[in-house]
Amino acid sequence: MTVKDILETLEWGPAPESDKFAREWLENHGPDFGMYINGAWVKPKSGDNFETHNPATGELLGTISQAGKPEVDAAVAAARAALPGWSSSPGHVRARYLYAIARQVQKHHRLLAVIETLDNGKPVRETRDADVPLVARHFYHHAGWAQLFDETFPGYGPVGVCGQVIPWNFPLLMLAWKIAPALAAGNTVVLKPAEFTSISALAFAAICDSIGLPPGVVNIVTGDGLTGACITEHEDIDKVAFTGSTEVGRIIRKATAGTGKGLTLELGGKSPFIVFEDADIDSAIEGLVNAIWFNQGQVCCAGSRLLVQESISEVFHEKLRSRMSKLRVGNPMDKAVDMGAIVDESQRKIIADLCQLGCDEGGAMWQPDTEMPDTGCFFPPTLFTNVSPSSTIVQEEIFGPVLVALTFRTHKEAIALANNTRYGLAGSVWSQDIDTALEVARSIRAGAIWVNCTNQFDANAGFGGYRESGFGREGGREGMFAYMRPVSKLTETSTSSKISTNSTPSASGAESIDRTAKMYISGKQKRPDGGYTLDINGPNGLVGEVGRGNRKDIRDAVEAACGATKWANVNAHSRAQVLYYIAENLEQRGAEYAARLSSMTGCSDEDATNEVADSVAEWFRWAAWCDKYDGAVHETTMHGLVLAVNEALGVAGVTCPNQRPLHGFTRLVAPLLAMGNTVIAIPSESHPLSATDLYQVLETSDLPGGVLNIVTGIHSEFVGDLAAHDGVDSMWVGAGDIAEVQIASVTNMKRVWKADTGASDAEILRQATHVKNIWLPHGL
């Protein structure tokens, strides 16, 4: 046998990582683990606990405390008490603590990696090379935001006490994503790890303790979903951050609705992995292995839907099968293993059941005859072909090592298939053609797009979803906003908002009484579906009438807005031109509008004139912003460019306030239009006529039909329908009860903002957009 023969036949031998340090640590801190509350280790009064296992072996690692309401109360009280001191400590001081945490994470790199692997079952190669380095990077990076906080985020402060609930798939990394930005911005936290994987969070608490972090700034409580609910429903928590299943996300969305708590949700995904015929096929195969078999596919942004161009699909699937046959499944402590254990038997069963369902629905399941461990909780790499876009396993997140494969012919079809999902977390595009790559990247509705790469993460690039994948970003400048709130209002205060009842209405207001009241839908005036009208009275009697909108009017308006979303692709300069034009047309009829305002609201002529002038200025302001709300190029650890693009939310519904009705309408509607959204605007309930008067202005400006739709009437009769509509991506509540809107919109978990006409331009712009990060690695 020659050396060449040996090399060709050589199999990987086992390369086990030592678990010595980790065992010692478990012995010293366990086997019966407490929790970290107010800088001390405590056990629950109830004495309740549960076991945590190594899923690769079934071995018992220890028992974890089950926190109840008393422990959560204590943790929240500790965080509350620590808040004034922590939030008022200089950014530099917070930076030093975050920096110290980062250093300790690096120092205990190996211990943390092994603990994570023992408790979760993921390969130690991943915890060592991905999870833990990213954790350290996250704390280093956010030490920087703490240091630069005052200069970078003027007008913003911390939200307060944050309740954070995280999943088991990246236990320590998800903790870092939550705690680092929270502390950087001056918040204090109560965090609960997932019940399958609590140990690394406790090791983290030990690190916080060792660096002398002030008591109460970080509190770690352990327990199951009941403990989670104690946190997310706690009345003294200011903000909830959750990562996990869409199901629980929905529960939390409902529980927090109307409580005034801040909320960010990072939920599931069914992210497309799109391969064009001009892709570098071998790289795409390697990328795909990472996309769906990294962490056994238990990744929210996993590239779980393969879309391959038909011309290469046979070759591609063939190469894929042969690559799958080479994946090694086994003991995650073995550094030569590609796939470790599934986190728990319950999760393995979910995966197996979904695969069975896939077969029952006619899918063709293929698994390589990979050698599988005899014991422990493992699942082989799995490929499904012969599925259709509507198959359950193509629509539902499996959260396991299961890939579903579809094909497409044209670019257009690829984009349509990619977006045929209620999720929008990530996407991966493979093509050597720059036009294809960038056009498709821009067209996928998701928060992170990887061009010729996949699963790229960095502390300086925001990660988070569109649509039912949730809202809010983690990482980077955009992620900091999840842990801040405006503390001062930067815009002009209203000239006058007093409604005086003794001023004389002007004559021209009354002239319009006989106008037939209509809605404005799809660029046309349309009679209200129900045929009813409402009288609009001013202080001196009837001023006019408006249509009384109903759910059908809302449906029509949403349909029109959904059909007009090309507005987002109209270039910023052209959008600005339209907004300037509206301003000009409004100004020309200024006297008429002022008269209308005073007859409707009873304000003085001077106030009315000022309000019209302010509204004209408002249209100018947002026209100006159209091409000036730039994105960013993030500096990350990847060689290449990461473009953070501010994109339109899509279809936005907005309820407008009664106060200064014309200005309020303009201050909310104009920025949404400026950023490329299409809008269903519900004007002031009591003073809607200045909005309906706008129909003529809109008709003479070049606003495309459907971009702005206006439905008048009694808000409570249809705003719930608007909030519940799946076609609406976001709601701005400028009038009425935000709780109702939040509850009604639980179905598709749209982003809801308590729209404030006094908010700064910067805050309004942020609320009118979401950030997509496009990763463009390059190299020769």
Q: How many whole angstroms separate alpha carbon 102 and alpha carbon 142?
A: 10
Is 195 tagged catalytic? no
The 2-41 site mask, x for binding Mn ion (CB under 5 A), equals ----------------------------------------
Comparing CB distances to ligand NAD, the nearer of 115 and 308 is 115
Q: Report the DSSP pairing between strands 364-366 and 382-385.
A: antiparallel
**Cβ neighbours of 423 (radius 10 Å):** 27
Q: Is 196 in the site for Mn ion (CB under 5 A)?
A: yes
- The DSSP secondary structure of 664-681, one letter per residue, reads HHHHHHHHHHHTT-EEEE
Given Mn ion, ligand NAD, none, residue 251, with its beta carbon under 5 to 8 Å by kind, binds ligand NAD
* 8 A C-beta contact, residue 169 and residue 401: no
Out of Mn ion, ligand NAD, none, what residue 468 binds, judged by CB under 5 to 8 A for its kind, is none
Q: At what angle do helices 590-601 and 661-674 cross, to 10 degrees?
A: 130
SS (H, E, C) 284-295: HHHHHHHHHHHH
C-beta of residue 425 within 8 angstroms of C-beta of residue 383:
no
Closest distance between ligand NAD and the C-beta of residue 248, in Å? Answer: 4
Catalytic residue among 126, 266, 468, 474: 266
Q: Which does 483 bind (CB under 5 to 8 A by kind): ligand NAD, Mn ion, none?
A: none
In the complex, which residues of this chain contact ligand NAD (CB under 6 A)?
165-169, 192, 194-195, 224-225, 228-229, 232, 243-245, 248, 251-252, 266-268, 300, 350, 397, 399
- Beta-strand pair 751-753/305-309: unpaired
Q: Is 629 exposed, middle or buried (0-12, 13-18, 19+ CB in 10 A)?
A: middle
Which CB atom, from 225 or from 258, has the smaller least distance to ligand NAD?
225
φ/ψ bin of 38: left (φ > 0), alpha (ψ from -120 to 50), beta (otherwise):
left
| Number of Cβ atoms within 10 Å of the Cβ of 177 | 28
Under DSSP, the state recorded for 18 is P
Q: Are 452 and 280 in contact (CB under 8 A)?
A: yes
Residue 303 binding partner per list Mn ion, ligand NAD, none, with a CB distance cut-off of 5 to 8 Å that depends on partner kind: none
Q: Indicate the residue among 463 and 581 with the shorter CB distance to ligand NAD.
A: 463
Q: Which is nearer to ligand NAD, 299 or 441 (CB)?
A: 299
Residues numbered 158-187 forming contacts with Mn ion, rule: CB under 5 A = none
| Cβ atoms of residues 203 and 108 within 8 Å | yes
Residue by residue, DSSP assigns 218-275 as EEE----HHHHHHHHT-TT-SEEEEES-HHHHHHHHHHHTTS--EEEEE-----EEEE
Out of 71, 119, 607, 729, the only residue in the binding site for Mn ion (CB under 5 A) is: 119
Rounded to a whole number of angstroms, the minimum distance from the CB of residue 225 to Mn ion is 16
Question: Quick one: 397 or 611, whose CB is closer to ligand NAD?
Answer: 397
Binding segment (CB under 5 A) for Mn ion, from list 194-202, 303-311, 613-621, 757-765: 194-202
What is the rounded distance in angstroms from the CA atom of residue 378 to the CA atom of residue 376?
A: 6
Closer residue to ligand NAD (CB): 710 or 749? 749
Nearest-5° Cα angle at 501, 498 to 505: 105
Phi, psi of 440, deg, nearest 5: -70, -40
Tell the smallest beta-carbon distance from residue 202 to Mn ion (Å): 12
715 binds, among Mn ion, ligand NAD, none (CB under 5 to 8 A by kind): none
Tell me if 232 sits within 8 A of 252, measured CB to CB: yes
Q: Give the whole-angstrom CA distance, residue 123 versus residue 3.
A: 31
As a whole number of angstroms, the distance between CA 297 and CA 294 comes to 6
562 belongs to the catalytic site: no
Residue with the CB atom nearest ligand NAD in the bound state: 228
Q: Please identify, using beta-carbon distances, which residue of 98 and 166 lies nearer to ligand NAD.
A: 166
* 49 contacts Mn ion (rule: CB under 5 A): no
Pick the closer one to ligand NAD by CB: 123 or 464. 464
Between 245 and 760, name the residue whose CB sits nearer to ligand NAD: 245
Residue 131 interacting with Mn ion (CB under 5 A): no
Q: Which residue is nearest to Mn ion (CB)?
A: 119
Cβ closer to ligand NAD: 91 or 262? Answer: 262
Find the catalytic residue in 162, 208, 230, 300. Answer: 300
Least CB distance to ligand NAD at residue 239 (A): 14
Q: How far is the CB of 174 from ligand NAD (least distance, A)?
A: 7
With CB under 5 to 8 Å by kind, the binding choice for 52 among Mn ion, ligand NAD, none is Mn ion
Task: Check binding of 384 to Mn ion (CB under 5 A).
Answer: no
Closest CA to 37 of 87, 94, 84, 81: 81
Torsion sign over Cα 453, 454, 460, 464: positive
**Cβ proximity to Mn ion, 314 vs 345, nearer residue:** 345
CB of 263 to ligand NAD, least distance (A): 12
Tell me the CA end-to-end span of the chain in Å, nearest whole number. Answer: 39
Closest CA to 99 of 142, 57, 56: 142
Task: Name the binder of 562 from ligand NAD, Mn ion, none, CB < 5-8 A by kind.
Answer: none
**Cβ pair 137, 164 in contact under 8 A:** no
119 contact, one of Mn ion, ligand NAD, none, CB 5-8 Å limit per kind: Mn ion
Distance of closest approach, residue 425 Cβ to ligand NAD, in angstroms: 8
Segment contacting Mn ion by CB under 5 A, of 52-60, 221-229, 360-368, 374-382: 52-60
Q: What number of other Cβ atoms are within 10 A of residue 7's Cβ?
A: 8
> Taking the complex as a whole, how short is the minimal distance between the CB of residue 342 and Mn ion, in angstroms?
11
| Rounded (10°) CA dihedral 347, 176, 469, 400 | -20
Smallest separation, CB 53 to Mn ion (Å): 5
Count Cβ atoms below 10 Å from residue 660 Cβ, excluding itself: 29
* Binding partner of 759, given ligand NAD, Mn ion, none, CB within 5-8 angstroms per partner class: none
Smallest gap, in angstroms, from Cβ of residue 168 to Mn ion?
Answer: 7
The distance of closest approach from Cβ of residue 169 to ligand NAD in the complex, given in angstroms and rounded to an integer, is 5
Q: Which does 607 bind (CB under 5 to 8 A by kind): Mn ion, ligand NAD, none?
A: none
Query: Which of ligand NAD, Mn ion, none sits in contact with 165, Cβ below 5 to 8 A by type?
Result: ligand NAD
Please tell me whether residue 52 binds Mn ion under the rule CB under 5 A. Answer: yes
Sequence-distant (6+) residues with CB within 8 A of 594 are 506, 605, 608, 609, 611, 612
Q: What residues make contact with Mn ion under the rule CB under 5 A?
A: 52, 119, 196
By annotation, the residues acting in catalysis are 266, 300
